[in-house]
Structure formats: structure tokens, C-alpha cells
Structure 1
Amino acid sequence: MHNKTKQWRKLTGERITTYIEEELLDVIRRERQLGSQLKVCIGTDSQVKGADTEFATAIVFIRKGRGGFMYLNNETTREKMSIRQRMMVEVARSIEVAYALSGVFNTHQVDMEVHVDINTDPMYKSNDALREAIGYITGMGFAFKAKPEAFASSCCANKVVQ
């Protein structure tokens, strides 16, 4: 992912003009100098708007006991998808980001989780994709959280696609 094709920004709207890896490396160093213990949660949510489906991916940094901050990326597609397919595209987008950034996080011993906007309650349609998503994420070696604990996708990314 060491390219600028994904346009990342802060929650404030400030665009990241460097590679996201470089930005996050600077952030980790700065936060460590301030004494912060960090954890990262990566999640994607989507919203169908007419013929378009908008995806938002969030990289959420949690400062233990001191709040947090996030980076966001939005992309839109016109591809028609079933709910299950859309859930798996969300998972794939999160894994793509997690995989690309895992070297930075591993090197600096920052714990990372992948959050999925899939309901654990079988009453919901998104649940059809849960087992496949769990297998995909854990197969890639990542920790995961699903609803209701998956705030990076269910809350943070969700706010950007509404």
C-alpha cells in the first residue's frame, strides 16, 4: 500500500500528503514520547446510496486512558453487491490496510485489531458472512472484533458513510 492512491485524512478533514505508513510512524513516535500506550483498530463500513456503494475505512488509535484519534479513507463503487458480498468487501478492505501497516505496528509493538461491521446475532442478514469473515481475518493472523464490540467499523467508519 506504499502509494498515494488511497487518500487518507484526519477526522478534522486535514488530508495526509505523505504515505500513510510514514504518517503513522511519526504519530507512533510522537505518542510514545508523550508516554502514550497505543492500540490500533481498523474497520470498514459501507452504505448503499442509489447506484453507488460508499466504503469508509478507519484507522483508530486508542491512547490507553487518554482518548484517541483516527484516520479515514472513503471510496465509492457502482458495483452491485449482495449484503454478504458487501460485508466481505468491507472485511477485505480492512485486511488490506491492516496487512500493509502491520510491519509498522509490529516493529513498534502496537497491538492491532480488525473490526467488522457484522452482527453476531443470527437474526441479522449481515450474520451470513460472520464465519467467513472470522476465518479470513484469523487466517491472516489478526485479532478481530464483531458487533457490538467493533467500534472502528460500527461507529467510526459508520459516521463517515451516513
Structure 2
Amino acid sequence: MEQQYQWRRLNGDVIVNDIEDEVRSVVLTEKEKGNTLKVCIGTDSQVKGIETEIATVIVFIRKGKGGFMYIRNETIIQKMGIKERMLLEVAKSIEVAYALCNIFTMYGVDMEVHADINTNPSFKSNDALKEAMGYIQGMGFAFKAKPEAFASSSCANKIVH
């Protein structure tokens, strides 16, 4: 059975609609205002004792006019290695991207999936880079890793710390 996690805005306001309905409404509103949008989806996690806290974000960028984001938190209790945790983060982002991609395609909104994985081989997270990139691109999504992956390494990162 699929668990439902509550989406919210950065200010804490809970999203009562399905995230798909909320995103469709936001895209239409922003388009009516003449804004050009780009969306970046990313996930980060933080191990805290036996728990792993996970934050997934949907970042909307209004070209030249700032942006806003939606946040979903969840906590799991499962021991994982760094590579497994990085790929779990990517899977969480892809789950959201897949649910929303038809909306973005319909309204001509560019979307990227950001992975909190370092491109520098001296970092442990780099072990998951090839698999993550293949997973994301194999699903047909644009891929960004550190240092360009701000949705995961900056936005989601601030939520889990």
C-alpha cells in the first residue's frame, strides 16, 4: 500500500489538494501572469540515529522573478549504506517527477531532477552517480548533480537539517 505524505509550502501551509491538482493550478496561475516557469525536483536525506529523515522539494522558478517551493517530509527506519541512500533519494525525486511530468509537458514547463550526488570521485556519494544519472535520464528527465543540483543540495538540504 502506498503511503501518502503531506505536502506543504515553505511557510508551513499544508496543501489540502492532491499535489497534481495544486501544481496544475499553480502552473495555470503563473502562466496567466505571464511568468515563464522552470521546475526542479530534488530530495535530500539525513541520518539521525536509527531514523533517516527525507525531504523532497518541488522548486518553481519564475524566470527573472524569484521562486517558491513545495516540501514533503518523511522518516524511515532502515539501515542503508550511502549508495543505497543516494539512490533512494533519486527514486523519491523520480516518483514526484513522474507524477507531474504530464502537467509540465502540457503547459511547456521545463523540468529537471536534481541529485544530491557529488561529481567529484573523492566523495562517497559519487559511487551512486552513474546509476542515478542512468535512472533519471532513462526515465526521460533532465539530470543535474552537484554543484548544479540546488533543489536537492540547497533547498531540500535546509529542510532536513
Report SS of the residue matched to 2:22: helix
Q: Which residue of 2 aligns with 1:10?
A: 9
Paired position in structure 2 for 1:64: 63
Instruction: Name segments (4+ residues, structure 1) moved above 2 Å.
Output: none
> 3-state SS of the aligned residue for 2:41?
strand
Aligned-partner Cα distance in 1 for 2:85–2:3: 24
Unaligned runs of 5+ in 2: none
Identity of matched residues, %: 65
Give the match's secondary structure for 2:69: strand
Cα deviation digits, residues 113-156 of structure 1 (max 9, x gap): 00000000000000000000000000000001000000000000
TM-score by length of 2: 0.98
**In structure 2, what is the equivalent of residue 98 of structure 1?**
97
Deviations 1:76-128 (A, max 9, x none): 00100000000000000000000011111111110000000000000000000
- Give distance in 2, aligned partners of 1:64 and 1:124: 32
- What amino acid does structure 2 have at the position aligned with 1:86? R
**Pairing 1:49–2:85 present:** no
| Cα distance in 1, alignment partners of residues 120 and 72 from structure 2 | 28
Q: Residue 4 of structure 1 contacts residue 19 of structure 1 at CA under 8 Å; is this kept in 2?
A: no
Q: Secondary structure at the match of 1:101?
A: helix
Give the Cα–Cα distance (whole angstroms) in 2 for the partners of residues 141 and 104 of structure 1: 15
Contact 1:45 1:153 in 2 (8 A): yes
* CA shift for structure 1 position 33: 1.1
Please name the residue that 2:77 is paired with.
78
CA contact (8 A) 1:9 1:72 kept: yes
Mapped partners of 2:99, 2:160: distance in 1: 23
Output the TM-score relative to the length of structure 1. 0.97
- Cα distance in 1 between the residues matched to 2:144 and 2:75: 25
Helix, strand or coil: the match of 2:17?
A: coil
Task: Describe the SS at the equivalent of 2:128.
Answer: helix
Which secondary structure does the structure 2 equivalent of 1:61 belong to? strand
Shift in Å, 1:4 = 8.3
